[in-house]
């Protein structure tokens, strides 16, 4: 996956295996209190995996028991992430690269037995972002094909599995030697399995665009074909597109898979269309992915993806990750422990469970929503809202409606009191003059044969109250350049009576500017962060932004003076094209010099001398406008060419290219505006060349 695994996996520093004649001798197991460690042998899977299998990823580094989470979530099959070397150059794999977690029945053996006893199974996964990024993916790390094959065989023999997943991304996509070794090892293991009567499948997990694999992913498959390595399944990670586009994640899953189908048709021309779909798996990242809110897989995306995947008879459906399948951190992107969206715990595990063939038909289920979701009345008045239901899987069923959380003196009436899923009901909330003013979250519950779901309506009862509050801003003024953002803190305080909910809003912003409160409402006495973001189209000037707090007792305001300056000025990189023929004002490590060839533009370029003992860094100091956003750009060629910004800002990017390639590093200056820009190579990778630097 694109997510980074834990630090202990990334920092594991000891490897203890010796490879002899294709057999790997594993290190001893450290003592552990985790529930999944036992020395009992693992009972081999009685047969292969189901024809279609839903198997979400289990984060194996958390110390949790996969059997327990499998039982709690209802996900009978799990993809276990990840197996990798502890250090680059090693031919021994450990769970998460942790030398205390070897491939052994003492690691997850008892848990796998429990999972199989409950009718499920596991799929071990090699690689993942951290391993692929650090050179500890087993075929990147180990240069002996026999030893790589022995690691795969050890996993098969130890855990009795019938499928191995290979998560290849980041640097592993461009490591041609590692790609070739891996596919040769796959072929060797397949021959070994055939000769020994064992069933084994290999699946590749690869990043994708919304229209199919990039060429780097196709190169992995082309090499497999060249090595006669049978790839049974190709899983695409339908998230982390990082294309700065708006996304409907369910639709993008379908277009990405269709693109892969068409690409596989070129690689495997003798397969029918149905056979090609049977080679495809999709992996979602539930909730907000690593890129951010623009790439959010929502609750309502689950049913269309499930139904489409079943209709195409895909081989595999999964998501990253089981431990994220909860709504514990609304608004947080890329977390390992929660989805970042509002959802019930195990929602996606239960929604996708019917994908597994041999399981029951998709269970009946439904959703409940209210529109509008809030309203205000004076005591004695009535508010109305519409309760909408929808079928999320299976067939429509009768849904009985009820409301709880009403204040004393208020009643709720549904018309009708029950609906067939897909229908709607009118909810009337009537108050009497005796209702105490305040904000009341009303829980609307729909109950059906399959279970119940809820939605919340916030009822504000206005009227005379001793409760009151104040609102203020700190700071109350700010200046930005068009295209930048500024923040202030909205503080509230109880001035009389009791605390109440205060909803926040901002008005008076110029065209092209937005206001975001985090959170959007507070309990009086609390605070919220207000971000005022501008675009480059905002007209320079001074604007009075009114921040309004609305509570049950009253409305209060505070003002913020926002000054917007002209477009962000660029900066100058002195001697950025090296046409002076000299280094000044660049400062370089030993061997750095200006050369006439290769040159990107003009007749000169910078040679960065990376050796076994230095990166060859060349740098200069640039003074820019404080607290503004910029982008450093430069053309480079060579292995591991890095552009960096440090000092008053932080940013870095790199590439490896045999020809000229432009690298961009976005950054934001600090209060001084002074930053250090630099270019360097990497130890022992040879000279890097750079030319035509600019800051915009």
Count CB-CB contacts under 10 A for residue 194.
11
Question: What's the angle, vertex CA 292, arms to CA 283 and CA 253, rounded to 5?
Answer: 30
- The CATH number that domain 365-461 falls under is 2.60.40.10
Q: Single out the residue of 134, 152, 142 nearest to residue 178, CA to CA.
A: 142
Within 227-339, residue ranges assigned H as helices are: 249-267, 273-277, 302-312
**Per-residue pLDDT, 437:** 87
Per CATH, domain 7-355 is 3.40.50.150: no
Q: Which pairs with CB-CB distance under 8 Å and at least 24 residues apart come from 585-590?
A: 585/620, 586/618, 586/619, 586/620, 587/618, 587/619, 587/620, 588/616, 588/617, 588/618, 588/619, 589/614, 589/615, 589/616, 589/617, 589/618, 590/614
- pLDDT tens readout for residues 541-599: 889 999 999 988 789 999 999 988 754 455 678 999 999 999 999 999 999 999 999 99
Q: Would you list the domain boundaries of the chain?
A: 7-355, 365-461, 468-567, 587-695
**Per-residue pLDDT, 464:** 57
Token pair listed for 596: 């006439």
pTM: 0.53
With DSSP H G I counted as helix, E B as strand and the rest as coil, what are the percentages for the chain, rounded to 5?
Answer: 20, 40, 40
Per CATH, domain 468-567 is 2.60.40.10: yes
- pLDDT tens readout for residues 157-193: 999 999 999 999 999 999 999 999 999 999 999 999 9
**Per-residue pLDDT, 465:** 54
CATH architecture of 587-695: Sandwich (2.60)
pLDDT beneath 50: ranges in the chain? 2-39, 360-361, 567-568
Q: Strand 438-448 and strand 398-404: pairing?
A: antiparallel
**Per-residue pLDDT, 601:** 87
* Cβ proximity of 169 and 207 under 8 Å: yes
- Spatial CB neighbours of 36, under 8 Å, sequence gap ≥ 6: 65, 66, 67, 107, 108, 109, 110, 111
**Per-residue pLDDT, 593:** 96
Say yes or no: do domains 365-461 and 587-695 share a fold: no
């Amino acid at each position: 996956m694109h997510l980074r695994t834990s630090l202990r996996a990334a920092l594991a520093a000891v490897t203890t295996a010796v490879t002899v004649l294709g057999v790997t001798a594993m290190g001893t197991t450290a003592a552990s209190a985790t529930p999944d460690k036992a020395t009992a042998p693992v009972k081999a899977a009685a047969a292969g995996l189901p024809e279609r299998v839903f198997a979400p990823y289990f984060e194996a580094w958390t110390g949790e028991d996969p059997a327990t989470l499998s039982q709690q979530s209802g996900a009978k099959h799990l993809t276990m992430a990840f197996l990798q070397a502890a250090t680059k150059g090693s031919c021994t794999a450990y769970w998460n690269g942790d030398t205390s977690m070897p491939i052994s029945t003492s690691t997850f053996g008892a848990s796998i037995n429990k999972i199989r006893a409950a009718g499920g199974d596991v799929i071990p996964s090699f690689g993942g972002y951290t391993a692929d990024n650090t050179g500890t993916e087993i075929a990147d790390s180990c240069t002996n094909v026999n030893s790589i094959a022995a690691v795969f065989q050890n996993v098969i023999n130890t855990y009795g599995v019938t499928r191995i997943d290979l998560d290849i991304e980041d640097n592993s996509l461009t490591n041609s030697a590692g790609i070739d070794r891996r596919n040769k090892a796959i072929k060797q293991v397949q021959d070994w399995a055939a000769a020994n009567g064992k069933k084994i499948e290999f699946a590749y997990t690869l990043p994708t665009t919304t229209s199919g694999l990039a060429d780097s992913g196709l190169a992995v498959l082309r090499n497999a074909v060249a090595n006669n390595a049978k790839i049974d399944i190709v899983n695409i990670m339908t998230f982390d597109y990082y294309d700065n586009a708006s996304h409907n994640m369910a639709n993008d899953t379908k277009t990405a898979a269709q693109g892969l189908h068409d690409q596989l048709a070129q690689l495997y021309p003798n397969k029918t269309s149905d056979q090609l779909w049977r080679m495809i798996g999709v992996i979602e990242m539930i909730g907000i992915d690593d890129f951010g809110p623009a790439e959010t897989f929502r609750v309502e995306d689950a049913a269309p993806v499930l139904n489409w995947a079943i209709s195409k008879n895909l081989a595999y459906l999964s998501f990253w990750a089981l431990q994220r399948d909860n709504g514990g951190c609304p608004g947080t992107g890329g977390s390992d422990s929660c989805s970042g969206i509002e959802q019930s715990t195990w929602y996606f595990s239960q929604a996708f469970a019917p994908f597994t063939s041999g399981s029951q038909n998709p269970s009946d289920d439904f959703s409940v929503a209210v529109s509008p979701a809030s309203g205000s009345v004076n005591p004695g008045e009535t508010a109305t809202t519409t309760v909408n239901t929808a079928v999320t899987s299976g067939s429509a069923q009768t849904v009985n409606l009820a409301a709880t959380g009403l204040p004393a003196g208020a009643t709720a009436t549904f018309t009708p009191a029950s609906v067939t899923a897909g229908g709607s009901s009118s909810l009337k909330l009537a108050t009497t003059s005796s209702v105490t003013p305040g904000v009341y979250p009303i829980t609307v519950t729909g109950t059906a044969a399959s279970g119940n779901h809820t939605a919340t309506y916030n009822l504000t009862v206005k009227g005379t109250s001793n409760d009151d509050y104040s609102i203020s801003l700190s700071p109350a003024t700010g200046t930005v350049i068009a295209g930048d953002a500024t923040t202030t803190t909205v503080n509230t305080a109880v001035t009389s009576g009791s605390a109440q909910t205060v909803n926040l809003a901002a008005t008076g912003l110029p065209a092209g500017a937005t206001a975001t409160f985090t959170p959007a409402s507070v309990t009086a006495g609390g605070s919220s962060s207000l971000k005022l973001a501008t675009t480059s189209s905002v007209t320079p000037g001074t604007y009075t932004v009114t921040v309004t707090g609305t509570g049950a007792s009253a409305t209060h305001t505070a003002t913020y003076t926002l000054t917007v300056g002209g477009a962000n000025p660029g900066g100058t990189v002195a001697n950025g094209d090296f046409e002076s023929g000299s280094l000044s004002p660049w400062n370089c490590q030993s061997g750095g010099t200006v050369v006439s060839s290769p040159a990107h533009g003009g007749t000169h370029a910078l040679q960065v001398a990376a050796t076994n003992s230095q990166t060859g860094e060349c740098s200069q100091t640039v003074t820019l406008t404080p607290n503004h956003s910029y982008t450093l750009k430069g053309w480079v060629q060579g292995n591991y060419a890095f552009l960096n910004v440090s000092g008053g800002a932080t940013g870095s990017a790199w590439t490896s290219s045999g020809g000229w390639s432009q690298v961009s590093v976005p950054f934001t200056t600090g209060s001084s505006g002074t930053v250090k820009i630099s270019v360097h190579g990497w130890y022992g990778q040879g000279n890097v060349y750079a030319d035509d630097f600019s800051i915009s």
